[in-house]
Amino acid sequence: MRKVLLAGVLLGAFVLSGCGGLGMLSKNERFTGTDTLAIASSRSDILDVIAAVGKEMGMSVTSLDKKKGAIGLERGISGAGLLLIGSMSSAQLGVEVKDAGKTLDISTMTMGNFGAGGQDATTKLIEEFKIRLEKKLGQSVVSK
């Protein structure tokens, strides 16, 4: 019992005084953005394709409304990074399918420290989504 308590105290001291304290030095940022993507030809399974792309990006499906043509994806805070170095990041991506599947209205939100939550992080999230979607669909996806 004493060893377990000692290990907990040592781990806590490491996190607060060592690398874990670095997270306190980095400003937490949050940024939201929107974009509209155009696809050359529509697909009846576009929401399933978007879900697969999100999963490839390490995101989970948090909402799905096939009637409205909307899907929500999210990547949450990493426990190991938060514990060891104090880094945290979260990303959300919402997609609404319009124009018979040819137009995708995208809303994004990134939050985090060490540069994981600013405008650059949001831009990278949209670009990664766009590139992976192009590969999955086998056709070009362009910003409107």
Residue partners of 10: CB distance under 8 A and separation at least 6? none
Whether the pLDDT of residue 19 is over 80: the answer is no
Neighbours of 134 (CB within 10 A): 16
Banded pLDDT at 10 (limits 50, 70, 90)? very low
Q: If residue 31 lies in a helix (H) or strand (E), which one and from where to where?
A: strand 29-39
Which residues lie across from 71 on neighbouring strands? 64, 95
Residue type, 126: I
The domains of the chain, with CATH numbers, are 2-143 (3.30.160.110)
For the segment 5-33, the average pLDDT, to the nearest whole number, is: 54
What are the residues whose beta carbons fall under 8 Å from the beta carbon of 120, sequence distance 6 or more?
Answer: none
pLDDT at 113: 73
What does the buried/exposed string (b/e) look like for 40-58 if buried means 16 or more CB atoms within 10 Å of the residue's CB?
Answer: eeebeebbebbbebbeeee
Residue 1 has pLDDT above 70, yes or no: no
Question: Which alpha helices (H) appear in the chain, and where do they start and end?
Answer: 2-17, 22-25, 46-56, 79-84, 119-137
Q: What is the mean pLDDT of residues 94-123?
A: 88
